[in-house]
Structure 1
Amino acid sequence: MNEQREELIRLTNRQLDAELSEVDQQRLVQLLNADAQLVDLYTEILCLHGQLTWDAGQSVGLKAEGLPEVGPAPITSETVAPRKPWRFAPTATIAALLVAVVGGYLFVKSPWKDANNVVVVPEEDASDNGVLVAEQNPNASEDIDLTPLDLSHPKGASQPTVVAQAPQPAVESPGRPALADNFSDDDVIAGIDGLIQQSWANNEITPTVEANDAEWMRRAYLTLAGRIPSLEESHQFLTGDSPRKRRILVDRLLTAPERNEHLATTWTNLLVGRTERPGVNRDKLFEFLTESFTENSPWIDTVGELITASGRNDENGATNFLLAHLNNQATPATAVTARLFMGEQISCVQCHDHPFSNGVSQEDYWALNAFFKDTVKEALPEAEGANASGLTARLIDRPKKERMTHFEDRSGNQKAVLPKYDGHVIAEASQENRRQRLAKLLASDGDRKIARAMVNRTWAHFFGFGFTNPVDDMGPHVPVSHPDVLGLLTEAFVKSDYDLQRLMKWVSLSQAWQLSSVASNEMDMPEHGATPLFSRVYARRMTPEQVYESIRVAIRSASGQPLARDENSLEHRRTWVQQFAHAYGTDENDEALQFDGTIVQALLMMNGSDIDIALRQATQAIVQDLNPRTTESDALDRVALAMLTREPTDSERQAFRNRIRQLTNQSSPKKAVPVAVEDMMWAYLNSSEFVLVH
């Protein structure tokens, strides 16, 4: 396998240097057809080459082929050095980087197929392979040894070493009836249920059991409000006897301020990252998004405002999206706009056509980039000192004299394009605002890319996996696991005028989202690279923001304190979360989140003395509430419900009694109970169960 990788790198180097013979081309195709890991390697080489080519070409003047001369003198073969020498250096660098950066990935043993076309993972590498897939997939969960609740496998089950071949996605059924214009929420939910049930039948898979009220409620609060439920909220829901209580809770959470803030936090992180960026006012962007979600503005309008915003970033929060991405001739703005709003990863095509899709070309990338050609980030003269700290800037449109956008193809030819999307081109002489025109074109796009991308991302927000992998790559080359469900939700979302509240309601009340996260079928293991069948809700780790809020709610509700935040709590959370974020400083403004999701890491990064004091105060409140009609067991019930949203297990009750007995022998019952209660709080808080959305 190592020889194949070396051969692939060699052939790709020759291809990038335009020295690939016909025989070499055939061999390259054979290698790419033979192994999916080689395809991943090939893609990484092309992406790295594209970035290095762009960087190297920045200083070279560009001239559009076949167009009248504007500006500098025309570039000829006499004035431009041959391309091969400077191309070779990045190519050699690519090989070195692949060995140094992703060497561990390159030398993992590959699965093979047996006579029945079943993918078999070598036993000695089975667990490593599972972790590898999880690390590559940002939506996947790691293999988790849960204590005290095992959600990954039934008790006693061993880790499977044979993974069934991923089911082939079904072709979208042309017979699925279109939704009526006056459709109801129940119409959409029933449609989702029918299509998912048909998928289960087609793949001969039985869904897992329905989640009990405690599991479902905790998941609902984490997904919709960004935190676990409080002690009082848990008690109220679990003791309720209404058959509609899940629907009632969903309706309440969808309009709750915490839902709007949670969504605003999620999208602020997606739009500008978690690290501070010069000229970006995160607070104002967060306020803009919170207001948009509170008013339930049509998502297409929110996207339009983010793309067309202008003015001061401390007055118009929407400006901060593009202010974060106008570096490097707005190439980050181009890539991030396509990825987040249109569900297309197009970074690699800025220097060559897409290697796996005939429908995505280098020209398309630069035609989209041309919409941002006139957009300028400008520091305010009267606030230069403030701008230095990254807070004050202005976004304006200043039409350039040169209206064409120039780029260089793989052969070294100079080309130029005008703004173009969905077949519509802005003329060179037009003074129309280009960003406003792009927003209009996106709203009228016949492919409904904005709607499809948001539906896919919302589904992944609830289930842990979307209909495509990764969730933000929905190009024509990427298979869709459930095209009918995606089509139904996209149609409903558009007909509802991009109503995000209704979209989230449809998904949260679907039959599939009522299921437990307990794995019951080896066919449905997207954590191991298989196609998701949604026969369960996939467990995943909380985000840092969810961990922070859940620790706060658990401790405060256990001690009977109000959950309301003070005016500094959001700033304190942001400062805490930023400890885990690291900006790479790349042309795509990438950043990494170094958060392993454990409470040990979380507490180490918090003020440990504050947490310790808070837990002792909660313990005192719990013990003080004990009276002659209650027992120590009632204290444990309260702690378990506040921390894990469930009753203690028998083994936990026994451990608690043993701890009290041990402490009583050392001191006295009066001192033993508080210490035992605090110990159980720490145990629950530090369990892997606490940090999971399941």
Structure 2
Amino acid sequence: MATFSRFGLAICLTVSWVSFSSAARPSDDYGIPQVAEINEQISVVWKDYGISPAPEAQDFEWVRRVYLDIIGRVPSVAELEEFQRDRGKDRKKNLVEKLLNDSAFTEEYARNWTTIWTNVLIGRNGGLDNNSQVSREGMQKYLRDSFARNKPYDQLVREVITSEGANAPGMPNFNGAVNFYMDKLAEDGVQATAKTAQIFLGVQVQCTQCHNHPFNSWKQDKFWELNAFFRQTRAQRDRGMEANNAMGMAMSLKNVDFRGESGNPSQAEIYYELRNGLIEVAYPTFIDGTNVNPNGMVSQVNRREELSKFVTDSKEMQEAIVNRIWGHFFGNGFTKPIDDMGPHNRASHPELLTYLGEEFRGASFNIKELIKWITLSQAYGLSSKITKGNEVDDPTIGESPKFSHFYLRQMDAEQLYESLIVATQAHKTRADYAEQERMKSMWMQQFTIAFGTDEGDEATTFNGTIPQALMMFNGDLIKEATSVKPGSFIATLAANGDDGKEAIRHLYMATVARRPTKNEMQAAGILVASHKGNTAAALQDVFWALLNSNEFILNH
């Protein structure tokens, strides 16, 4: 069937889709006080704005959502059916805890959060250039090991900020955490300063290296006082070890003595220039005004170790990570952007943000606990349906989010790839981890869009551009997924010998996590009949249409 007519088929076979939902029912906190508090504080805002929340999402809709957000892919048909068999009142809680804690999902959980944090720390293009100082493999290995062991977040932050060692696996003293800073130390560590504040403290300070911030309380002196913590840090190339980093340079990160710009190590100061040309002096001082001994000798003061203590003890860190994780699950954080927090950018739910930050610290920075609280909340379980009662809740027009309905969002490219693999059952014959990542990286490059800014920001999304659409319509992965060759997924379904109805139901479950409506079954039946007994060809068209539908590509 021609691509154009198949595109029409994609519309026809999912045209009846809207957000399926159940009648609203009283929120359940599962006996978890943090969930109860989230529900209470979110509902207070609904009352304040006269908002009626959307109905509860259908069970399979919620299951699909939680699989995508926790482990980065849609559920298989077998996993949907397993959830359906659990009729207990705690089945949602059981599923969340299974995805987080069952050893069967450890690798997928670690892979998903490794992908997320690799992109946060070094960007989606970090370590992919042959001249890069960053080892993407090294960064991923460190993060994968950390998430597989559920390393406390404060420990991860300390290890990254204080990291020393080699960047690539196979090198002596390998420490993948060094890759965060490896390419950020040029120009006296300006990028190291900006990214540490942005990612771990939720504060954007990059423009204050040259002038006071026009919108918040950050002044130029604060930037350079924070920058002073990085003046003992050096990256050096290990030319004899290049074979260990196939995609870039073999590098090591080290602490070295800093004698200050005047040559006096006991008062190892730095200088910076004001816009009026005057020169000022700065010593290592945290954002709350707490300073450390200015001695630049590492044996006396390890500045990055001191910085890591300040960061992990701070209110800013705990709220920054809560905001980031909340934003991952809802598509909107309490602030926009999620990493620009402060009095100039008031949080939509400041009391809830503070509460969750304190509870997260009280839970020993256990990321899985935070995920559980969020995914079991009433707001996360709502339908994406927009009604008269919640239509004012629209962050896309600049309104602060009220979380009265689930915000539709496109899958990340990585989620789309993993979901295609599972929907087509290719995951059952996957290669080893390294080969999986290589294949995904090749496919991902065709969906990556880098938006160049002064800060090197970038973003990746499946947003329906012509090249992306053509890749979905005609790309090798889709062709392989919808193949009718002997032994393929489609050929196996067609071999059941019935009229194709059960196979069509299976395809809907595998892709959009629901059974087809009566109208959709009628449309599919007409298609099957038009192929005059060639069930495999008919199923191929149905599957192609579903994989290219908005309902498959959206997280809803």
TM-score of the superposition, structure 2-length normalised? 0.86
Deviation at 1:197, TM superposition (A): 1.2
* 1:285 alignment counterpart: 139
SS at match of 1:690: helix
After superposition, residues 586-597 of structure 1 pair within 5 angstroms as: 588-593=455-460, 595-597=462-464
The reply on whether 1:473 has 2:320 as its aligned counterpart is no
CA 1:539–1:316: 2 relative to 1, 3 Å: same
Equivalent position to 2:495, from 595, 606, 624: 624
What is aligned with 2:44?
198
Task: Give the alignment partner of residue 502 of structure 1, picking from 358, 365, 369.
Answer: 369
Q: Which amino acid aligns with 1:334?
A: T
Shift of 1:580: 3.5
> What residue in structure 2 maps to residue 70 of structure 1?
none
1:413-452 alignment, distance < 5 Å: 413-421=278-286, 422-431=288-297, 432-445=301-314, 448-452=315-319
Aligned to 2:425, what secondary structure does the other structure show? Answer: helix
> How far is the alpha carbon of 1:642 from its aligned partner?
0.7
Q: Hey, what's the Cα distance between the residues in 2 that align with 1:190 and 1:481?
A: 19
Map of 2:421 onto structure 1: 552
Please tell me the residue identity of whatever aligns with 1:601.
Q
1:234–1:289 Cα change, 3 Å: same
Q: Distance in 2 between matches of 1:479 and 1:145?
A: 44
Q: Deviation per CA, 1:264-292: give whole Å up to 9, x if none.
A: 11000110011125121111211111111
| SS in structure 2 of the partner of residue 513 of structure 1 | coil
Larger radius of gyration between Structure 1 and Structure 2: 1
Q: Supply the AA of the counterpart residue of 1:250.
A: V
Is 2:236 aligned against 1:400? no
One-letter code aligned to 1:535: S
Matched, 1:566 2:435: no
Partner of 1:486, secondary structure, is helix
Runs of 4+ in 1 over 6 A off after TM superposition: 385-388
Q: Does 1:240 align with 2:70?
A: no
How many Å separate the matches in 2 of 1:231 and 1:340? Answer: 37
Taking a change above 3 Å as real, the CA distance of residues 224 and 370 of structure 1, as seen in their structure-2 partners, is same
Aligned partner (choices 54, 59, 65) of residue 213 of structure 1: 59
Call closer, same or farther: CA 1:491–1:389 in 2, change over 3 Å: closer
Question: What is the identity, as a one-letter code, of the residue corresponding to 2:397?
Answer: H
Matches within 5 A, 1:165-184: none
Could you tell me which residue of structure 2 aligns to residue 148 of structure 1? 15
Aligned to 1:263, which of 109, 113, 138?
Answer: 113
C-alpha distance after superposition, 1:553-608 (max 9, x if no partner): 11117xxx726553411111123213343667766333354742579726627983
One-letter amino acid of the structure 2 residue matched with residue 685 of structure 1: L
CA deviation profile, 1:521-567 (whole Å, cap 9, x unmatched): 2210112211110001111011110011111111117xxx7265534
Report SS of the residue matched to 2:551. coil
Q: Secondary structure in 2 aligned to 1:407?
A: strand
The correspondence for 1:410, drawn from 257, 272, 275, is 275
Residue of structure 2 in register with 1:638 after alignment: 506
- CA offsets per residue over residues 327-358 of structure 1, 9 Å max, x none? 2221111111111111011112111111122x
Aligned to 2:263: none
Deviation at 1:458, TM superposition (A): 0.8
Q: Deviation per CA, 1:596-627, whole angstroms, max 9, x where unpaired?
A: 2579726627983453243222111101124x
The 8 Å contact of residues 472 and 548 in structure 2, kept in 1 or not, is answered as: no
Task: Supply the distance in 2 between the matched residues of 1:618 and 1:193 (Cα, whole angstroms).
Answer: 43
String of CA shifts for 1:135-160, please: whole Å, max 9, x gaps. Answer: xxxxxxxxx99953655899xxxxxx
Map residues 646-661 of structure 1 onto 2, 5 A cutoff. 646-661=514-529
8 A contact 1:579–1:605 mirrored in 2: no
Distance of 1:223 and 1:458 partners within structure 2: 10
Where structure 2 has 5 or more consecutive residues not aligned to the other structure, the ranges are 1-10, 22-29, 169-173, 261-267
Alpha-carbon distance in 1 for matches of 2:437, 2:87: 36
Distance 1:375 1:579, change over 3 A: farther
The answer (yes or no) to whether the contact 2:167–2:175 under 8 Å persists in 1 is yes
Q: In the alignment, residue 555 of structure 1 is paired with which amino acid?
A: T
Structure 1 unmatched runs, 5+ = 1-143, 155-183
Which residues of 2 match residues 28-39 of structure 1 at below 5 A? none
Could you state the TM-score of these two structures normalised by the residue count of structure 1? 0.69
More displaced stretch, 307-316 vs 591-600: 591-600
Amino acid at match of 1:433: N
1:528 aligned onto 2:397: yes
In the alignment, does 2:550 pair up with 1:681? no
Sequence identity of aligned pairs in percent?
Answer: 38
Q: Aligned pair in 2 of structure 1 residues 656, 324: CA closer, same or farther (>3 Å)? A: same
For 1:573, the aligned partner's letter is: K
Q: CA RMSD in A?
A: 2.6
Residue 539 of structure 1 is matched in structure 2 by 408
